[in-house]
Amino acid sequence: MYKYDEFDSRLVTERAEQFRRQVKRRLSGELSEDQFKPLRLMNGLYLQLHAYMLRVNVPYGMLSSTQMRKLAHIARKYDRGYGHFTTRQNIQYNWIQLEQVPDLLAELAQVEMHAIQSSGNCIRNVTSDQYAGVAADELEDPRVWCEIIRQWSTLHPEFSFLPRKFKIAVTGSPNDRAAVQVHDIGLRMHRNDDGQAGFEVIVGGGQGRTPHIGKTIREWLEPEHLLSYLEAILRVYNQDGRRDNMYKSRIKILVHEIGADTFRELVETEWAELRDSELRLPQSEIDRISACFAPPDYPRRADAKTLLDSQAAARPDFAAWLHSNIAEHKVPGYAIVNISLKSLAAPPGDMTAKQMVAAADLADEYGFGELRVNHRQNLVLPDVPQEQLLELWQKLNTHGLGTANIGHVSDIVACPGLDYCSLANARSIPIAQEINARFQDLDRVHDIGELSINISGCMNACGHHHVGNIGILGVDKKGKEYYQFTLGGSSGRDAALGERTGRGFPAAEAVDAVESIIATYLRLRASDERFVDTYRRVGMEPFQEALYGAA
């Protein structure tokens, strides 16, 4: 993991102290709410439906067990004993008291964490592949580049007042698990014809009320030019992005309005000035950051597949968990373990302090003290010896963390919705929980196979409903909650925006609608075809027929 240097530590500590003084001035009445609001937002502090909400950055989803224990401590000491992991690999606390925030931030700084730039019109937390550094299919570790971007973008003076927020995602694997095509900038590592690794640069993707799949403006970028090229893009956006209407201020609107070709030309012109500036990354700097992500010293282990097969044969539940929650590790004898935060017991992504401590302890016991947060609101233990999987699974189960549903129907992504969020028009969590309750039979869940359901409680699409295989959008219709459906969305390499099925359904009928969509899929699928592939093959019509009757 990246360890803070003196500069990072000072910055974070001083920022926490600065905010302490600002809070003091607010509480004394020296600052009005209008004056204070931008300051608190710069530190991740929102005012939500019930209370202040603090969003803490988890840089590209990486957590040490020490940090996780601190997050648990904060949940207990400053909140109501739980936290919510978000679709941007961060954590949010829902019941934070303003007067306690300075102490909270000081505690976070002790473990190299903060909430700077987790809100506001600036470059937000860089997100990445939750399997970074351990995935069998990986070309290069994307965290090196995430960290380089993090350092460049933190308090970047030129980009502190962008037209709107700005999100960058990086994947180092051809199987995109970081949703790079639906970010303001998506970076995808791949090899050029000479076999050299570089970045495809994708710009102008995003969700919200005007969803777009990003456009590739450069097929291959030499890594040493990463920062100068990003700077050129941000400069063009900062200069030309709309500021007259917040709903039209994201870079996707600019790219869409002027066209990707014109946008590319503007960037290339800007880049010509910047490429050989001090932003050109010296190899020594790339090496310095790479060293922080050097693989741990893996004790040699034999492949344990035969052992796992025999263990699984005796325990169908364990077999199901292995099937859905384990991903292939690059080192023989090891496995990547996904911890589902989608049990029936809590809203999607929510975790109690007790569970956080348990996960941290398991990360130490069955790995190298590391955890990851993914953008589907689950956690990952990256380095588990295969022969210890059964033991780990049993322990996870005692903490309610062993749900075998990753990538399946009950692994639902949901924003906090109207239960917590002041922007929401409808609730998300109860719909997620009802769907989850309806699909509790593991055999059925696994028979349905790979399927993503994403729920947002408003047009802002924090639940990423546009890219869910089944997307659900909550709307307010004359004072009642209604749910509109989209089908066929995907955030992977085959990224696509879902298409609307038609009129929405009242809350009481929403789960039946999901059942009906899934029954249609099961009826039409060819052998082991995934939901999204069946949808792409047969189109919308049979699903509409099931939902609304024959036209």
Partner 1 sequence: MLSLMPQIVIANSLADGFVVFLTASNGWSSRVRDATVAHDDADAEVLLRSAKAAAENNLVIDPYLIAVELKGDAPEPTEYREYIRVFGPSVAIPSGQ
Q: Which of residues 74-93 bind partner 1 (CB under 8 A)?
A: 80-82
CB 348, min distance to partner 1, A: 11
CB 99, min distance to partner 1, A: 5
In sign, the C-alpha dihedral spanning 489, 490, 491, 496 is negative
Q: Considering only CA atoms, which of 100, 98, 85 is closest in space to residue 40? A: 98
> With CB under 8 A, what is the number of residues at the site for partner 1?
39
> Is residue 133 within the footprint of partner 1 (CB under 8 A)?
no
- Which of 5, 14, 99, 257 lies at the binding interface for partner 1 (CB under 8 A)? 99
> Is residue 420 within the footprint of partner 1 (CB under 8 A)?
yes
CB 344, min distance to partner 1, A: 11
Q: Considering only CA atoms, which of 490, 455, 449 is closest in space to residue 469? A: 490
> Is residue 346 within the footprint of partner 1 (CB under 8 A)?
yes
- Rounded-to-integer distance, Cα 311 and Cα 307, Å: 6
> Is residue 123 within the footprint of partner 1 (CB under 8 A)?
no
How many C-beta atoms lie closer than 10 Å to residue 522's C-beta?
A: 14
Q: Considering only CA atoms, which of 54, 43, 44 is closest in space to residue 18? A: 43
| Region from 119-127, 276-284, 378-386, 416-424 binding partner 1, contact rule CB under 8 A | 416-424
Q: How far is CA 119 from CA 42, 46, 86, 107, 373, in A?
A: 6, 8, 13, 20, 19
- Rounded-to-integer distance, Cα 148 and Cα 142, Å: 10
| Region from 216-224, 248-256, 351-359, 541-549 binding partner 1, contact rule CB under 8 A | 351-359
For the CA atoms of 419, 499, 131, 206, the dihedral, rounded to the nearest 10 degrees, stands at: -80
Q: Which of residues 6-45 bind partner 1 (CB under 8 A)?
A: 26-29, 32-33
> Is residue 52 within the footprint of partner 1 (CB under 8 A)?
yes
CB 8, min distance to partner 1, A: 29
- Rounded-to-integer distance, Cα 455 and Cα 485, Å: 9
The smaller minimum CB distance to partner 1, of residues 331 and 507, is found at 507
> Is residue 541 within the footprint of partner 1 (CB under 8 A)?
no
CB 113, min distance to partner 1, A: 21
Q: What is the β-pairing status of strands 350-352 and 499-500?
A: unpaired
- Rounded-to-integer distance, Cα 527 and Cα 513, Å: 24
Specify the residue for token string 């609730």: 427
CB 355, min distance to partner 1, A: 6
| Region from 158-166, 314-322, 381-389, 428-436 binding partner 1, contact rule CB under 8 A | 428-436
CB 433, min distance to partner 1, A: 7
Q: What is the largest CA-CA distance in the chain?
A: 68
- The DSSP result for 218-257, as a single string, is EEEE-GGGHHHHHHHHHHHHHHHS--S-GGG-SHHHHHHH
> Is residue 350 within the footprint of partner 1 (CB under 8 A)?
yes
- Which of 61, 198, 400, 471 lies at the binding interface for partner 1 (CB under 8 A)? 400
Binding mask 264-303 for partner 1 (x = CB under 8 A): ----------------------------------------
Q: Considering only CA atoms, which of 517, 479, 526, 477 is closest in space to residue 498? A: 517
- Binding-site ranges for partner 1 (CB under 8 A): 26-29, 32-33, 47, 49-52, 80-82, 95-99, 345-347, 350-352, 354-355, 399-400, 418-420, 427, 429-430, 433, 479-481
